[in-house]
Amino acid sequence: MTAPPSDHEEFARSIRASGFRFVAGTDMRGHLLQHGALEDWDAFAASWNDLAPDAYLAQVGRHRRRRHAVFRAGRDGAIERQPHQPHYQALTYNALQGDIERWFEPVREHIADGASLRTVLGFCRDFFSTLAPQTATWHIELHQFRIEAGPDNEGQPTPEGVHRDGVDYVLVLLIDRHNIVSGTTTIHDRDGSLLGSFTLTAPLDAALVDDARVFHGVTAVTPQDATSEAHRDVLVVTFRAQT
């Protein structure tokens, strides 16, 4: 399935107008396939079973696993992985864990070089470059997240609350959700007013966010069946103009 260019431009217009857009997985697949292949998707999705605990949240008892990688891309050039480095957010953007360098386990090399991830990054580079024609080079960070929930603990996709990431644009792509309820994404303006909400429920459901304009958060997830394992897997990709 290939999305017509008019559809592509239609949700670009909505992001320019409102600062965010939900894209259903069936539509998102078409947009991604304009930028590459998803032939290794099963292996890509299975790599979420190999994430490392987020040690920075251990002291507050929230169950989150993740891996992290950094890339650089010119608007028309190759997407190049950068040496492993810490993830840093100013306290202004992350009241819970801001102003510290957080080192996470790196994304596995075969996942970073795989078709699915390169397709996602290619889509983001081309689409976000359309929204920011003045940007020549992008600093890209990506995070594999698994949020776990149990009978005695809610899973917190955004433990820092409603926030901005301190970047230009964000893609949140659902990989899998198993045995959970809730996990609703909420979008807010600067005064906290709710602009919209939606729940990522199917693989490839996506949220595209203009981080400079709106705030976002995700409600806690709980198990549907308290006796079984429950998780929410997402890929978060952030783009910031390289200075």
pLDDT in tens, 171-206: 999 999 999 999 999 999 989 999 999 999 999 999
* Listed range (89-93, 112-116, 198-202, 219-223) with the worst mean pLDDT: 89-93
**What pLDDT does residue 70 have?**
96
User: Tell me, what amino acid is at 143?
Assistant: H
What mean pLDDT value characterizes the chain?
A: 88
**What pLDDT does residue 110 have?**
97
pLDDT reading at 2 higher than 70: no
Q: Which fold has domain 5-241?
A: Jelly Rolls (2.60.120)
- Residue predicted with more confidence, 87 or 188: 188
**What pLDDT does residue 92 have?**
60
Distance between CA atoms of residues 214 and 164, nearest Å: 7
Strand-pair category, 221-223 with 52-53? unpaired
Q: What is the value of pTM for the model shown?
A: 0.90
DSSP of 169-232: EEEEEEEEEESEEE-EEEEE-TT--EEEEEE--STT-EEEEETTT-EEEE--EEESSTTS-EEE
pLDDT reading at 149 higher than 50: yes
**What pLDDT does residue 5 have?**
47
Query: Which DSSP symbol is given to 56?
Result: G
* Residue 186 tokens, joined: 């909420």
Most confident of 57-71, 87-101, 131-145, 147-161: 131-145
CB 36 within 8 A of CB 114: no
**What pLDDT does residue 61 have?**
44
Q: In sequence order, which residues have a C-beta less than 8 Å from that of residue 187 and are 6 or more positions away?
A: 19, 20, 194, 195, 196, 197, 209, 214, 215, 216
**What pLDDT does residue 150 have?**
86
Q: In sequence order, which residues have a C-beta less than 8 Å from that of residue 87 and are 6 or more positions away?
A: 68, 101, 102, 103, 104, 141, 143
